[in-house]
Amino acid sequence: MPQPITNALTIDVEDYFQVSALAPHFPRSQWETVPCRVEANVERILELLARYDTVATFFTLGWIAERYPGLVRRIAAGGHEIASHGYGHERASAQTPETFLADIRLAKAVLEDITGQDVAGYRAPSFSIGRDNPWAHDCIAQAGYRYSSSVYPVRHDHYGMPDAPRFAWRLDNGLVEIPVTTTRWLGRNWPAGGGGYFRLLPYAVSRWQIARVNRAEGQPAIFYFHPWEMDPEQPRVTEASAKTRFRHYLNLRHTEARLQRLLSDFRWGRADTVFGDAG
């Protein structure tokens, strides 16, 4: 009997006030004055993963790492992969090639200095690499990363490249791109890799989608979530639009229980080991 496929579990380490949709309410110039909740939330994640004997990839902001170096070391000490989410959570699509390259080089240097380990992976904030900024992949390779997980092949109002390959592919510059998982149905790609969809839809939908990718297509999935998605007690930004509040706060109280089911139902590992060409 064939062994179950190991999927890649990934966590984007950022705090609630750094989410792109809430950016108008939390200018970067004020980040230092906002109480952080990320440390306690990541500790809960580490406890959860240890309970299920699971390792994962933590795409970590350089800004967070500088302020919580001990947390980054604890993540690495648990056998998890430390990867880069950039330094200041700026979308790749909102930067010039020069500023983008400087940002991802700084983040890599900060993370490697803290852990003493090579940082191979990068994920752009808000999956902000698409048809309008193909130069970003060259910058990622130039900065010394070996793989990226920055493309989401779906249609979305904030991101997405629906005509991109659905599974890991190698660019001409040698970089491996690992797109977030989708399922193909009714002639289009449907999100299957976590985030807000994991909270919006019944858990059975995510389970069915990942199982379909594993069994019908024979491919590993890559799934992501954020520490703030396990934090129903986080401050509410009542000034945000109704759409933003719905997306951000929906079903936060159910996330941890759903993650427990996810960890029980599938086999999980680090992105750099699940996708061998990326390591």
Supply the pTM of this predicted model: 0.95
Res. 106: pLDDT tops 50: yes
| Residue 209 confidence class, pLDDT cut points 50, 70, 90 | very high
- Percent above pLDDT 90 for the chain: 87
Buried b / exposed e across 109-139, counting CB within 10 Å, b at 16+? bbbeebbeeebbbbbbbbbbbbeebeebbeb
Task: Note the pLDDT tens digit of each residue in 55-78.
Answer: 999 999 999 999 999 999 999 999
The DSSP element (H or E) to which 75 belongs, if any, is helix 69-77
Residue 279: what pLDDT?
A: 43
CA distance 248 to 254: 13
Find the range with the poorest average confidence among 18-22, 39-43, 162-166, 234-238.
162-166
Find the range with the poorest average confidence among 136-140, 159-163, 194-198, 259-263.
159-163
Mean pLDDT of 102-106: 98
